[in-house]
Chain A
C-alpha cells in the first residue's frame, strides 16, 4: 500500500483539468519518472508556484470536478512520482477518479461543507492529513488544531488500494 499520510497542498479552485495537471506536450514521455518536474505546470491559480508549493506534499485538498478532461493516466502518475497519493475533493471526473484507484492511489470525496471547513480552518497553515483506510477516517492536524473526519470509500476502490491496483486484481480474478 502507498503512503497516504503527510503534508497538504490546498488548491482553491474547481474544474482543475488534466491539461493543467500535466500538459499534453509531456505525453511523449514513456516513463512515469520523467513527468516529475512538470506536475501542475500550467495550473491557472494566482500565486501558485509548482516548483515550491508541491515540495514534500502527500495530499491535495481541492474543490469540484478535479481531473476533468483527458483520460491521461499521466495525471495520477505525475502526482505519484511527486509523492502525492491522495486527492480530496467535492467530486472528481470519472476517468481521473478511476485512474487513481487503478493505480492504488486515493481520490476521496467529501461534502461541500466539509471541503469548505477544511479550507477555512487549515488553508494557509502547515497542515497534515493521515488516512485511516481501515476505519474510513481522515485525521487532519495543524499547529493548533486536530480532528477526525469520516469518509466513504467503496469496497471495490478499497480493494484496489489494499491490493495495489487493478492489473494485479484483474489478473488474479479474470
Chain B
C-alpha cells in the first residue's frame, strides 16, 4: 500500500508515538508573529523555561498590527522583539523589513519540500504549497515548539483534489479555491490534508499555489499541499543553489515528496475548471459562494486588496491590469497592502503603485492590516467590503461589517463600479 505525501513527512519526522494515533513530530520550522507568540513567551518566562530549541529554525515577524497602533500592540511587538534579541533569533523581521508572515517567510526561502512547519496562525497551511506539512497551532503547541522543537498530531487523512482543464481569462486560483470550499463545506476537510494536483496546479505559479493552500483551513483542513516540481525549484533556487549541482538534481531530490500512485485517500474530488466563473462569497461563512454573475450589482463601501491570500506581486499585477486608466467609484474607499517590502518595491518598479494611486487607492505599508479588523481599514457597522482576504466571518473586519471574498481582479473591477462586477469588462 502506497503512502500519501503527508504520511511520508510524518514517517520522516516522527520522534515518538506515546499513544495510539499520537505522532510527535520533529519540527523544521517554528514561525512566530506578535499576536499569538507573546503569551507563549511570557508563559515560558513564568515557568522559568525561557529557552528556545534552535534559534536558526525559529523565524519571527511583526505583521498583524504594524506600525503599532496603541500601547497594547506596542507591548506585543516589544515582547517579541526583546525575545528575538535575547535568544539570537537572526531571522526576525521588524518594521521596515516586515511583511505578512505567510508571504515573507516563503519569499525568504524558509520553507522546503518535506518540511514540518508550525505557527500560531491558522493560515500556516499556506506553506504546504512547497510540499511541506504546515499546520496552524495554538499558543500552547507553539510554546512547546519553541521550547522543544516538537509538536503532536493525530494522523491526518488526505483528500485529493484533482484539477483538470484550463482557467478562462478573469478566473484565478482564488476563484478555484472558493469553488472548492463551496464543494467541501467549512467542515469538509477537518483533521485532513488537502492535496491539490492535476494539470491546473502543475501550470500554476508558486504564488497561485499558495493562494490555494492558504484557504485549506477554510474547509477545516490541517494543511494544503502541492507536489514540488520545477516551479518549486525555480522559486527556491537562490536559496538552494549551494546545496545542489543543478536544478535537475534539486528536482530529483524534491520529487520524493509526493504521494505514491497507490496511496489511500479519504476522498478524491475531480473537477474540470474550464467553465468555472469568477466566484465571490455571500453570507458569513467561506463556503457560502456564488458566481460573480449572480452577485453582480451588490454595493460595497470599501475594497481591500492584500493579505496572505492575495497580497503578492502576481495579485497586484492582476488588479493593476484592471485598474489601469480607470478611477475607483466616488462611493468607495480602496486600500491596497502589498504583502512584503520586496513585493512593494517590485510593484513600484513596475509602475503598479502609481496605477493604484492614480485610480484613487490608499497604498499602505506591508501588514495584515484590514484583514482581521485590527487596524488600517476597520469597517463601520453595516458597511460592506470587497476583499481579497480569506475569511468573511461576521465582524471579521469590524463589528457589524460584511465581507465578500473575491480575487484581486474582481476586487479591482468592483472598486471602479462601486458594485460587484466581473473584471473582464475592464480588460483590453
**Residues of A bordering B, CB below 8 Å:** 14-15, 17, 19-20, 23-25, 27-30, 32, 42, 44, 64-65, 68-73, 76, 91-96, 98-99, 102-103, 154-156, 159, 165-167, 170-171, 173-174
A interface footprint on B169-181 (CB within 8 Å = 1, 0 otherwise): 0000000000000
Do residues B190 and A65 form an inter-chain contact, with CB atoms below 8 A? yes
Contacts of B138 in A (CB 8 A): 71-73, 76, 95-96, 98-99, 102
Do residues B396 and A65 form an inter-chain contact, with CB atoms below 8 A? no
Report the nearest A residue to B121, measured CB to CB.
A71
Do residues B36 and A166 form an inter-chain contact, with CB atoms below 8 A? no
- Say yes or no for B50: interface residue by CB 8 A criterion: no
Do residues B393 and A73 form an inter-chain contact, with CB atoms below 8 A? no
* Of the residues B139, B186, B395, contact of A15 by C-beta under 8 Å: B186
Do residues B394 and A65 form an inter-chain contact, with CB atoms below 8 A? no
- Say yes or no for B72: interface residue by CB 8 A criterion: yes
A-B contact pairs, 27 of them (CB 8 A): A19-B395, A20-B394, A23-B399, A24-B372, A25-B373, A27-B374, A28-B70, A30-B76, A30-B79, A68-B220, A72-B35, A72-B139, A94-B191, A94-B220, A94-B222, A96-B138, A98-B141, A99-B139, A155-B20, A155-B22, A166-B141, A167-B140, A171-B49, A173-B16, A173-B18, A174-B15, A174-B16
* Of the residues B15, B72, B140, B395, contact of A29 by C-beta under 8 Å: B72
Do residues B399 and A42 form an inter-chain contact, with CB atoms below 8 A? yes
Which of A24, A27, A173 neighbours the largest number of chain B CB atoms within 10 Å of its CB? A24
Do residues A174 and B150 form an inter-chain contact, with CB atoms below 8 A? yes
In whole angstroms, how far apart are the Cα atoms of A119 and B16 in the complex?
40
Contacts of A32 in B (CB 8 A): 39
Contacts of B383 in A (CB 8 A): none
Contacts of A76 in B (CB 8 A): 138
In whole angstroms, how far apart are the Cα atoms of A155 and B152 in the complex?
13
In the complex with contacts A167-B43, A170-B144, A71-B137 CB distance below 8 A? yes
Do residues A73 and B36 form an inter-chain contact, with CB atoms below 8 A? yes
**Residues of B bordering A, CB below 8 Å:** 15-16, 18-22, 24, 35-36, 38-39, 42-43, 47, 49, 64-65, 70, 72-73, 75-76, 79, 120-122, 124, 136-141, 143-144, 147-148, 150, 152, 154, 186-187, 190-191, 220, 222, 284-285, 372-374, 391, 393-396, 399
In whole angstroms, how far apart are the Cα atoms of A88 and B406 in the complex?
34
Contacts of A27 in B (CB 8 A): 35-36, 64, 374
* Of the residues A42, A94, A174, contact of B190 by C-beta under 8 Å: A94
A16 CB → nearest B CB, Å? 10
Do residues A167 and B16 form an inter-chain contact, with CB atoms below 8 A? no
Do residues B186 and A68 form an inter-chain contact, with CB atoms below 8 A? yes
Do residues A23 and B395 form an inter-chain contact, with CB atoms below 8 A? yes
Do residues A156 and B139 form an inter-chain contact, with CB atoms below 8 A? no
Contacts of B372 in A (CB 8 A): 24
Sample of 9 further A-B pairs with CB below 8 A, known A167-B140, A171-B144:
A28-B65, A28-B70, A30-B72, A65-B187, A65-B220, A71-B138, A94-B222, A154-B21, A174-B148
Contacts of A98 in B (CB 8 A): 137-138, 141
In the complex with contacts A30-B76, A42-B399, A103-B140, A71-B47 CB distance below 8 A? no
Report the nearest A residue to B156, measured CB to CB.
A94
Report the nearest B residue to A19, measured CB to CB.
B393
In whole angstroms, how far apart are the Cα atoms of A20 and B39 in the complex?
21
Do residues A28 and B76 form an inter-chain contact, with CB atoms below 8 A? yes
